[in-house]
Amino acid sequence: MKQGEVWWAEINPTIGNEIQGKGLKGMRPVLVIQPDVFNNNPSFGTVMVVPITSTLKNYPWRVATRETTKKPSAIVCEQIRTLDKSRLTHKMCSVTPDELEAVLKIMRSFFSNK
């Protein structure tokens, strides 16, 4: 798996306002945001992701994408998750470089003191 790839992931169980997966296994597309230096390390068994939804809301911390589901979708940057790599079942596609950079810019703003 690589940063910028979109994978199907089993993200349930969830609690409260956490975005849920669909179906019995709780499947949802997620974007890998973790740097490849960690993704390629066999000793690192987890991966940081953000979910993707087709429920569109005009929030400045979401990034629009069509790459993932062939319909308008949004990358839900405010719902950063760390999953065991075994929860990612198969690769769907990759987002565009511009979409990935927009997501990473939002991530940086979440951890900035400015």
* pTM of the complete model: 0.88
List the structure tokens of 47. 């991966």
Q: What angle do CA 99, 101, 49 make, to 5 degrees?
A: 80
**Per-residue pLDDT, 90:** 94
Tell me what pLDDT residue 70 has.
74
CA-closest candidate to residue 68, choices 24, 14, 27, 109: 27
Phi, psi of 97 (to 5 degrees): -55, -40
List the pLDDT tens digit at each of the 114 positions of the chain. Answer: 999 999 999 887 776 776 777 766 788 999 999 999 999 998 999 999 999 998 888 888 999 887 666 778 999 999 999 999 999 999 999 999 999 999 999 999 988 876
Look at residue 73 and give its three-state secondary structure.
strand
CA-based Rg of the chain, rounded to a whole angstrom? 13
In terms of CATH architecture, what is 5-110? Roll (2.30)
Nearest to 11 by CA among 87, 90, 80, 79: 87
